[in-house]
Structure 1
Amino acid sequence: MVHAASGFRGTRAGAAEGFAPKNQPGNAVGDSLPRMRVSYWCSKGHETRPVFVKLPEDQIPVVWDCRRCGGTATRGQFQPEAPLEEPEDGYKSHLEYVKERRSSQDAEDVLAGALERLRAGGALPD
């Protein structure tokens, strides 16, 4: 059991100035590094502004993940992307795969047969 008056205490991450460990030299207590905010824009127009320690311009990341949609955000101003005809990752929806396998006439025949079976079973009115 730890006594309430124990000297063994931790500090939370991001603690306020002046809460440095007691075993550090006196000049380290309360010292903070200069910080800066950098704006990143994703293709949907969301702005993300992470905080960095003051760094030279070439060390600041060029891209960052958007906090709202997870897309790639860049430091340039927002410019909407043109819609893609074919997805980059080659993903196709279920409907696209079905359209590759069946013609419109096949789809009409399958639908007519399914409706006929439902009406015969009394599930659908005529």
Structure 2
Amino acid sequence: MAGGGNAIRGSRVGAGPMGEAERGEAAPRQRVVYFCAHEHESVITFAVEAAVPDSWDCPRCGLPASLDAENPPPPPKIEPYKTHLAYVKERRSDKEAQAILDEAIQLLRDRRKKGEIVF
């Protein structure tokens, strides 16, 4: 028989709602409020015996949030994207870069004279 009905699978008619009797007792809980720099209040529920973290990422904006409403953590500083060349320039002076370039050009010319490179 091809099914087309609205049968609820895995349950019997008259079985009743699945509640705490079938799942067990819920653990005692505590509600903790975190505050972010955008003045969002996030209520997070933890088990009573769980260690409550000092900080939590705000579910609304993603900024770090803390337990202190008066002094929420500042937004993290976002570093701009740097190219590979920018990182190299941080490590090398112009004089060092020129020396490395001259050495590479000389090596390339020597290899061309020997016929190792044909372009």
Question: TM-score, structure 1 length as denominator?
Answer: 0.43
Larger radius of gyration: 2
Question: TM-score, structure 2 length as denominator?
Answer: 0.46
